[in-house]
Amino acid sequence: MSSDNKTEKKIVIALDGFSSCGKSTFAKSIAARLGYIFIDTGAMYRAVTLYALQNGAINDGEVDESRVIALLDEVEISFRFNPERGASDIYINGHYAEDEIRTIEVSNCVSSVSSIREVREKLVAMQQQMGRCRGVVMDGRDIGTVVFPDAELKIFMTADKRVRAERRYAELKAKGDDVTLEEILENVISRDEADMTRAISPLRRAEDAIELDNSSMSVDEQMAWFMERYEAVINK
């Protein structure tokens, strides 16, 4: 293959793994490096959860499945590129929602909402549509197994639970959220459990995914690790 063909060849990069592993940060830098579109599918599940919270489908942490399903037709999710962040912000029915979807309240309910079949069907269809022309880095839990089982490069990210909780804690504290490390650790553990044991599209490593444990890796080391694998796929 000529070098021109190599640079033109666009692939799908599926980045799955546990919550707070730094998937989004990693995906964002990969996308910037390759000129690809970065799609944060967790943000989409969070957006539906936020909308459900705002519209009475979740009360005292109890998710009313049939009410969430009834809301699906009226919730329109879109992304708009934000050059300052170097990534796209999420909008719900045209309203900016990037900050609100990251609160602990949303984090505590998102596993239940993302286990609803109808929610997954709607969001998976949207994700497949967004990646139809390839040239995307998509981060989530089921990208390599369900959304793009034919992705040319699949990475499964893991990191130590406490390291992950500390990262998320620092992020939320920096934003001024009043949270404790223990609360975050509990959320990380319960979301792992819920993500791995749900009946539909549970979090699992695709057989052909390469594992990346980034507990003690710098951002530069992760990028070097990635570029080696990417080149191998492109030059195949």
Site residues for ligand DC per CB under 6 A: 19, 41-42, 45-46, 110-111, 114, 140-142, 191, 195
Least Å from the CB of residue 39 to ligand DC: 10
Distance CA 197, CA 191 (A): 10
Least Å from the CB of residue 62 to ligand DC: 17
Cα dihedral 205→207→208→213 (10° resolution): 40
194 vs 217, beta carbon nearer ligand DC? 194
Least Å from the CB of residue 126 to ligand DC: 11
36 vs 187, beta carbon nearer ligand DC? 187
99 vs 231, beta carbon nearer ligand DC? 99
Q: How many other CB atoms are found less than 10 A from the CB of residue 3?
A: 8
Q: How many CA atoms lie within 13 A of 54 on its CB side?
A: 14
34 vs 142, beta carbon nearer ligand DC? 142
Q: By C-alpha distance, which of 186, 191, 193, 233 is closest to 209?
A: 233
Cα dihedral 12→149→79→156 (10° resolution): -80
98 vs 142, beta carbon nearer ligand DC? 142
Rounded to 5 degrees, what angle do the CA atoms 211, 192, 71 make? 115
Least Å from the CB of residue 4 to ligand DC: 34
Surface-to-core class of residue 94, CB atoms within 10 Å of its CB (0-12 exposed, 13-18 middle, 19+ buried): exposed
Is the CB of residue 20 less than 8 Å from the CB of residue 214? no
Least Å from the CB of residue 188 to ligand DC: 9
Distance CA 27, CA 21 (A): 11
9 vs 167, beta carbon nearer ligand DC? 167
Least Å from the CB of residue 203 to ligand DC: 7
